[in-house]
Amino acid sequence: MNFTKQEIIDMLNARGADHEALLERALATKLEYLDHFVHLRGLIEYSSVCRKNCLYCGLRSGNSKAIRYTMTDEEVMDCARQAVELRYGSIALQCGERNDKAFTDKIAQLVRDIKKLSDGKLGITLSCGEQSEEVYRQWFEAGAHRYLLRIESSNEELYYKIHPHDDTHAFATRLNCIDTLLKIGYQTGTGTMIGLPFQTVSDMADDLLFFQSKGVAMVGMGPFIPHPDTPLWQYRNDIPSDEERLQMTLRMIAILRLMMPEINMVSASANQTLNPLGRSMAVKAGANVLMPNLSPSPYRKDYIIYPDKQCIEETASFCAAHLELQMRAIKHSILYDEWGDSKAFLKAHPTFR
Ligand code: 5AD
Ligand code: SF4
């Protein structure tokens, strides 16, 4: 569905009964196009090493308190094995950004090894930051078929208020990377944080129009959560309250579900940080993908993008059982053993797979 920017702004400003009506409409739209199914991506937080210095993230290179680790190949394979055993269907390999050849070759090798280990059964999403076209192609040919790279904000001015203004954090490069991923044929996902300092409702409306104009296959949007060891912490009292950021996130998801009914939309784990039921709330507002954590416990506490991350201690199988119950409680079902590709993407690429 197409909305004008003003219509989107009006929906973002909805409160009370209007807010509830918007969420109900989005849920009805999702059920009509995608049914009540939820897809899983087992999350592997491969490495906390990052060359970037984003002003909001606990893993920024300037944060000397962050503990840096990189999983061994065997640990990654153990995670993939667990994903197969838990019948997740897909995994997402995420890490801080590096672009040295040792790293980019390693990712290609891990993708090939995961494919081999699962007999080609596990779908693979990568989320390893900005890379050259050559590297994106190398990883695609190795077997990754989905890629997540959030734009963080589609407003260039705001982008530079939340990133250092230098060559390593260029807005144009970020845009180019998203275009390159789409061109190569990845199911490409992008997204933003919601409730950032300096962010306006107009910015958020533009973000939604940006996703639609790019025709992306997947979107992940989650509330911004201030981290004490980052520069944006100083604005923690200038942003909307936890509850408001969560409710705004739900409206963003709901509106986008109306605009792009067949895309995959993830319920970000940051929702769970702001409210114990946050993950389910986002699914009820229109999200259809969950990313249960598969990383080994000792590493989880060191992959701290934002504070109060949930599921630090739980084992992967406990998370899986918990999710199953949470989804049943809201009349949704998890689809096991399936890649769970974006329906929007499959329609646009009928020869895929
Ligand atoms: N709060 C919420 N989300 C964050 N991210 C990074 N830092 C924060 C934060 N403080 C998100 C970014 C990034 C993704 C991996 O995590 O959107 O793309
Ligand atoms: Fe690195 Fe990603 Fe954090 Fe930016 S958001 S500092 S690229 S891990």
pLDDT digits (tens, 9 = 90+) for 137-147: 999 999 999 99
Using alpha carbons, select from 144, 235, 124, 150 the residue that is nearest to residue 185.
144
Give pLDDT, residue 65: 97
Residue with the smallest CA separation from ligand 2 atom 6 is 60
- Judged by its nearest atom, the ligand closest to the C-alpha of residue 226 is 1
Give pLDDT, residue 106: 98
Contact 55, 153 (CB under 8 A): no
- How far apart CA 93 and CA 45 sit, in angstroms, is 6
Give pLDDT, residue 110: 98
The ligand 1 atom nearest the CA atom of 150: 18
* The pair of three-digit structure tokens given for residue 156, joined into one six-digit string: 């260039």
For ligand 1, the distance from its centroid to the CA atom of residue 245, given in whole angstroms, is 14
For ligand 1, the distance from its centroid to the CA atom of residue 179, given in whole angstroms, is 21
234-240 contacts at long range (C-beta below 8 A, 24 or more positions apart): 235/197, 235/198, 238/197, 239/195, 239/196, 239/197, 240/195
Q: Is residue 16 classed exposed, middle or buried when 0-12, 13-18 and 19+ CB atoms within 10 A define those classes?
A: exposed
Q: What is the pTM of this model?
A: 0.96
Give pLDDT, residue 313: 66
Give the burial string for 148-162 (b: 16+ CB within 10 Å, else e).
Answer: bbbbbbbbeebbbbb
Which among 48, 130, 174, 193 is the best mutation to test ligand 1's pocket, defined by most ligand atoms within 8 Å of the CB? 193
CB atoms near residue 164 (< 10 Å): 15
Give the burial string for 95-119 (b: 16+ CB within 10 Å, else e).
Answer: bbbbeeeebbebbbebbbbbbebbe
- How far apart CA 244 and CA 219 sit, in angstroms, is 21
- Judged by its nearest atom, the ligand closest to the C-alpha of residue 97 is 2
pLDDT digits (tens, 9 = 90+) for 156-212: 999 999 999 999 999 999 999 999 999 999 999 999 999 999 999 999 999 999 999
Give pLDDT, residue 7: 98
Residue with the smallest CA separation from ligand 1 atom 3 is 224
Give pLDDT, residue 353: 65
Give pLDDT, residue 342: 87
The ligand 1 atom nearest the CA atom of 268: 3
- How far apart CA 148 and CA 69 sit, in angstroms, is 21
Mean of pLDDT values over 210-226: 97
For ligand 2, the distance from its centroid to the CA atom of residue 58, given in whole angstroms, is 8
The ligand 2 atom nearest the CA atom of 96: 8
- How far apart CA 130 and CA 9 sit, in angstroms, is 31
314 has a pLDDT exceeding 80? no
Give pLDDT, residue 128: 98
Give pLDDT, residue 281: 98
Mean of pLDDT values over 62-76: 97
Using alpha carbons, select from 257, 201, 247 the residue that is nearest to residue 26.
257
- Judged by its nearest atom, the ligand closest to the C-alpha of residue 164 is 2
- How far apart CA 59 and CA 97 sit, in angstroms, is 10
